[in-house]
Structures are given as structure tokens and as C-alpha cells.
Chain A
Amino acid sequence: MSFHQELLTAVAPLWQRKLAHPFLTAVADGSIADATFKTWIAQDYLFVEGSVPFLGLLTAKAPVALRPALGGSITAFNTELGLFEQQMAAHEVTLTREYSPTCHAYLQFLLATAYDRPFEIGFTVLYAAEKAYFDAWERVRTTQTDASKWQAFINNWASDAFRGYVDWLAGTLDELAADATPPMRAEMHSYFRYTTLYEYRFWEMAYTTETWDSPLLLAMPTNAGA
């Protein structure tokens, strides 16, 4: 089994729970409330915007051979922000500067990881987040009954181009893991699981319209299998 498959297997129950989240089910069957989806758009915009420095830090730590691709992902993120802005204008979503607790904490986690941990760990986090996105939107695309009001978002991630990028991340992660020490691989597992928790929590945040009075991240399951 390849390393990235090992990571996915280790968190399989949580991963499935994430894909079955009512937010995604509701997008697929068209029942998602406008306000809920708009909460997600506004927070994910902030998240993508805040992830650019994370990619920049990763690029700075990357082996030379990986720099062009990682640099390219910064461009891709900026293009994605353009899609958000266009959709926000079309659907009258107001740009907010109010971070939800989960969005804020997730971004702090990305930055702390990129600054503080070795490149392999940051790259693992990037793979976890992107793979989570591909799987989530691909699930929506393959289960949706009718065209969605939010089709532009679904198509953005459930696309061949995005699939190719995620496959590249997986293959590169396998190569990094092959050269990594056992403690490093253990840490990669731990960060993969933790990122998966945040991905789960992000859907939850949008679906429940989390506020600063919510019980915050304490509500996150601590065990990947929970």
C-alpha cells in the first residue's frame, strides 16, 4: 500500500463521515439553504485567501524540484479567489472580515505548521486539505440529481484538472515518505488526521452557522475513528 493510501486508511471512518456530512448531501440534493451556502462561501473565501501565505512558506522550504509546482498552486489559489469574487457578485454574497472560530483556528494551524515544522509535514497537510476538497465535491457531483445553483463551485473542484493536481500531490507525498524517517512518518500521520478533523469541522461550521459563542473546537472528535 502506498503511503498516501495508508494515511487515508488510517482515518477511513472519519473521512467517510466527512463525505457524508449533511452540508454536502444537501448541496447534492438541492436542499441546501442559501444562507448556509453563503456562510460557507464567505468563510471559504477567507480560508483560501489565508492559505496563500501557507503555500508561500511551503514553497520557501521545498526542495528545488518541487518549487515550480508549488509556486503554480499559489497562482491557482489566486485564480480561485477570482471565481469566488465572481460568484459572490452574482449571488449577492457580502465579503466579510469576520472569521468564524473554525476558519481562524484552521488558518493558524496551517501557518504554525508551515513555519514551525519540516517541509514534509506541511506538504502532508496540503495533501490532506486538497484531497478532502476533491473527494467532497466529487461526491456532490456524482450524487447530485439536478444542476445546482452552486454548480460553478462543484465543477471547480470536481474537475479533471483538480484531480490531476491531487494525484500529483499524492505521488509526491509518497516519494517524500519513502525518504522520511519513521518518526517523521508518524508525525505525517498525526498531521494528516488533524487536518481531516479541521476539514470535517469546516463543513460543520458552515452547516451550524458557528459563532464565537459556540463550544468551538472542543466539539471536534479527538479520535480519528470516532
Chain B
Amino acid sequence: MTLAQQLWEQHRDLADACLLHPFVQGLGDGSLSQARYRYYIAQDAFYLEAFARAYTLAGAKAPDWEGFRELHALAGGVLHELTLHTSVAAELGIDLRAVQVGNATRRYTDFLLATAWGQSTGTTAVAMAPCMRLYAYIGQQLAQLAQSIPSTQPTRSSHAYSAWIATYNSPEFEALAQQLEQLIERYAPAAVALDQTYRYAMQCEYDFFQAAWEQGA
């Protein structure tokens, strides 16, 4: 079992709590209110900017050129994701420049940036992996759920958040998550408390959904 798999399995409790969170379930069955989704999209756009910068910082610190190139490409993946957010925000009439950053969002980006600036490439990869693996997991699980719902209406499985699910259920996104996890195998330092770093990021993920649930209510 790889280190990334071990970490995932060890903290699966929090990942499943995220999947079962009413916000995520609401994305899955399309019942999530637009107010909550709007809050989430605006906060996530702010978050993704920090996420892209963390990749770039980790890339600049990579011990070899190959690592730099891969982290640079991963940052490109985030920029693509941000483009999607920008168009969703435009459709919803959200001005991303005027967003007030929430405490849960801020706490997560502070952690990412402090880690990326202060720690090694490997530790930063560990801090970032929960986000990627969790979203791939959520995307895949929600897509399966949508398929398994027996329905008399052919459009039943398609709803306001189907595009969101499709993004994170895509093979392209899974490939990005795997690429980041391979960087953990290559660069994760031994004898560092990686376990706590991974769990903290996962806890931040849960709180991010919880904040969107509460703030968008």
C-alpha cells in the first residue's frame, strides 16, 4: 500500500463524513439550495487561488526538474478548474472580486500557504492531497449514486449540479489526484508528522462544507 493510500484509509472517517454531509448529498441529488451553492462557489474560487499558489511554491522547492514540471502542470489544472468556477459565478451573478472570505476558508488557505512556504515539497503534497482525493471520491460516489437511482423520468439524474459532479467524476480529475499522490511517494520526508498534516487538511475540508451549509442558509 502506498503512503497516500495509507493516509486516505487512516482518515477515511472524515472523508465519509464529508460525503454524507448534507451539503454534499444536496449536490448529489440536486436538492442543495442555490444560496448555499453560491456561497460555496465564491469561497471555493478564493480557496483555489491559494491552492494554485501552493502548487507553485511546492514546485519552486522541488528537489528536481521533473518535480517542478509536474507541480507546474498541476497548478495549470487548478487554473482550468478556476475558469469553470468563473463561468459558474458569472451565470449566478457572483462578483468574485467582492467576496468576503469566510473564517473556515481563511483557516484552510492560511494552513496551505504556511505549509507551502515553510515546509518541504513532500509535506506540502501531503497537505494538498486530501482535497484532490476527496473531490475525486465525492465526484465518483455521487455519479454512481445518480446512476443507481431508479427513475421513471429520463431526466431524473440530470440536475443543477450535474456538471459539478461530472467535473470531479472525470478521468482527467482522477489522473490529477493520482499525480499528486505520486509526488507524496517521491518527496514525502520520513519521520515527519505527515499524519497530522493530512488529517488537518481533511478536517478543513469538512468545515468548508459545514460553513457553506451554515452561511448559505
Contacts and interface: CB of A to CB of B under 8 A. Distances in A.
B111 A108 contact: yes
A105 B203 contact: no
Contacts of B174: none
A111 B207 contact: no
A104 B104 CA distance: 13
B6 interface: no
B200 interface: yes
How many A residues are at the interface, by size bracket?
A: 10 to 19
A218 B114 contact: no
B113 A217 contact: no
A112 interface: yes
A164 B114 CA distance: 31
Contact of B104 (A112, A113, A218): A218
Contacts of B203: 212, 216
B214 A109 contact: no
Contacts of B200: 104
A211 interface: no
Interface of B: 100, 102-104, 106-107, 109-111, 113-115, 117-118, 200, 203, 207, 210-211, 214
From B104, B109, B114, residue with most partner A Cβ within 10 Å: B114
Interface SS of chain A? helix
A115 B118 contact: yes
A115 B114 contact: yes
Nearest to A117: B113
A218 B117 contact: no
Interface of A: 53, 104-105, 107-109, 111-113, 115-116, 194, 197, 212, 216-218, 220, 222
Given A212-B203, A216-B207, A218-B211, A109 B103 contact: no
Contacts of B102: 222
A114 to B, nearest CB: 9
A217 B117 CA distance: 23
A217 B200 CA distance: 13
Contacts of B118: 53, 111, 115
B103 A111 contact: no
B11 to A, nearest CB: 13
A197 B118 CA distance: 24
A115 B103 contact: no
A219 to B, nearest CB: 9
B113 A105 contact: no
